[in-house]
Amino acid sequence: MLVYIAGSGAMGCTIGYKISKNSDNEVILLDYWQDHIDNINNNGLTVKGEFDDNIKIQAMKPSEASKKADLIVVMTKSMYLKDMMEAISHLIDENTQILCLLNGMGHEEILKNYVNLNQINMGVTIWAAALEEPGSITIRDIGTIDVQNIGGNEEAGKKVADILNEGKLNARYDKNVMYAIWRKVMVNGTMNSMTALLECTVGEFFAIDAHERIIDELVKEFVEVGNADGVNLDKKEMLDYIRETSKAAKDHYPSMYQDLVERNRKTEIDFINGAVVNKGKTHNIATPYNEIITQLVHAKEELNDAK
Ligand code: NAD
C-alpha cells in the first residue's frame, strides 16, 4: 500500500514513522517546510522520547508527489486542511481512502468536497508528539487511535485500522467515532482555550474559583448542540471525563497554549469552540460562552499578529 502523510509535523511524522518502521507499506511524508523536508531526506527522520530512532523515509512537497495513494492521512493544522486537500487532489482516485485525525470537528465538511463519503475515515488519537527542530520529533506517550468510515464503508475503515495496527499504532474500529471526537473537542474546548487565554497550566486553571462555572457553561452548550447533531452526549459524563483528564494533565500547557503563547502561531479555535458555535447556528441553539471564547482567542491572535 502507498500511504501519504499530508502535513508532516509532530503528529504526521509520528504516524508516518510508526507505519514505515513496522510495516511493509510505502510511506511518503508531504510537507511545505523545506528545511524539515531536506533534513529528513539528507539525515533521516530522528525520533526521540518513547522511541530512540532514526529512519530513512521519503519527504517532499505535495506538488512533487505523483503516484496515486491507497491511503492519505491528513495531519495539517485544521485551518490549513482545505489548502492541503487542494494540493494533493492529484494523488486521489476513487480507490483512495482518507484518514483525518486532526483535533477539532467539522473537517468532514471540507473532505466531502474532494472525495465521496465512503472514502472518508474520521478518527481521534491520543498519541502525543512535538516537532522541536526540522527533521526531529519527540513522541511523548504511547497512544491509541479510534477510526470509523463515516460513509458506512466498514470494510475500508477496518482496512485503515489494520494499516495503523501494522504500524503498532494501537488503532480500533469505532462504530461511534463521533462520540469520541466530540468528547475530545470538549476537553480541548475547555482546557486548551482557557489555558491559552489565561496563560496558565491545566492545574492552575482548575484551581481558579470560576473554573467550574466556565466549564459547566461551555459543556452545557457542547452537549446541547451535540445531541441536536445526533451524537448522544451526557453532560455529567463529559464533566467527569474532563475532570479526570485534567488531573493527569495538571502540569501541562496544552497545544493551544503552546501555539498561541509560546510560538505566536494561529490556533485551531474555529474547529473547537468555533465549531460548536457554527453547528449551534444550524440547530438554532445559542452558544454564547463558546462564541466569546472563540472571539477572545482570535482577538489575542490579532493583537499579537500570530502567524
Ligand atoms: P505541528 O505544528 O507539529 O505541524 C503542523 C505543520 O506545521 C506541519 O506541516 C509542520 O511542518 C509545520 N511546522 C511546524 N513547525 C514549523 C516551523 N517552525 N516552521 C515552518 N513550519 C512548521 O502540528 P501537529 O502537532 O502535528 O498537529 C497536527 C494535527 O494533529 C492538529 O490538528 C493537532 O491538533 C492534532 N494533534 C496533535 C497532537 C500532538 O501531540 N502533536 C496530538 C493529537 C492531535
The burial class, CB within 10 Å (0-12 / 13-18 / 19+), for 210 is: exposed
pLDDT number for residue 141? 85
Which residues in the chain show pLDDT less than 70?
none
Can 68 be counted among the known catalytic residues? no
Report the nearest-CA residue for atom 1 of ligand 1.
9
Model pLDDT for residues 198-257, shown as the tens digit of each residue: 999 999 999 999 999 999 999 999 999 999 999 999 999 999 999 999 999 999 999 999
pLDDT number for residue 146? 98
pLDDT number for residue 54? 98
pLDDT number for residue 305? 97
pLDDT number for residue 85? 98
Are 81 and 107 contacting, i.e. CB atoms less than 8 angstroms apart? yes
Q: Kindly state the cell numbers that stand for 179.
A: 462520540
Catalytic member of 18, 159, 184, 279 = 184
- Strand 26-30 relative to strand 120-125, pairing: unpaired
Task: Give Cα separations from 121 to 1, 35, 51, 73, 284 (angstroms).
Answer: 17, 31, 27, 9, 28
Could you tell me the distance, in angstroms and rounded to a whole number, from the CA of residue 105 to the centre of ligand 1?
Answer: 16
pLDDT number for residue 275? 98
Residue indicated by cell numbers 463521533 = 178
pLDDT number for residue 115? 98
Name 125's bridge partners: 145
Secondary structure letter of residue 299 according to DSSP: H
Q: Kindly state the cell numbers that stand for 193.
A: 482555550
> Which of 153, 168, 20, 14 is closest to 96 using CA atoms?
153
Report the nearest-CA residue for atom 4 of ligand 1.
9
- Residue 12 Cβ contacting ligand 1 at under 6 Å: yes
Secondary structure letter of residue 69 according to DSSP: P
Measured distance CA(268)–CA(253) in Å, rounded: 16
Instruction: Select from 146, 193, 255 the residue to mutate for testing ligand 1; criterion: most ligand atoms less than 8 Å from CB.
Output: 255
Residue indicated by cell numbers 464533566 = 239
> Which of 49, 65, 52 is closest to 8 using CA atoms?
65
201 torsion bin: left (phi>0), alpha (psi -120 to 50), beta (else) = beta
Helix/strand/coil for 280:
helix
Are 59 and 89 contacting, i.e. CB atoms less than 8 angstroms apart? no
Atom of ligand 1 nearest to the CA of 127: 42
- Residue 87 Cβ contacting ligand 1 at under 6 Å: no
- Residue 27 Cβ contacting ligand 1 at under 6 Å: no
Could you tell me the distance, in angstroms and rounded to a whole number, from the CA of residue 238 to the centre of ligand 1?
Answer: 26
pLDDT number for residue 298? 98
Measured distance CA(184)–CA(161) in Å, rounded: 19
- Residue 77 Cβ contacting ligand 1 at under 6 Å: yes
Domains of the chain with CATH codes: 2-173 (3.40.50.720), 177-304 (1.10.1040.10)
Atom of ligand 1 nearest to the CA of 12: 26
Complex ipTM tops 0.90:
yes
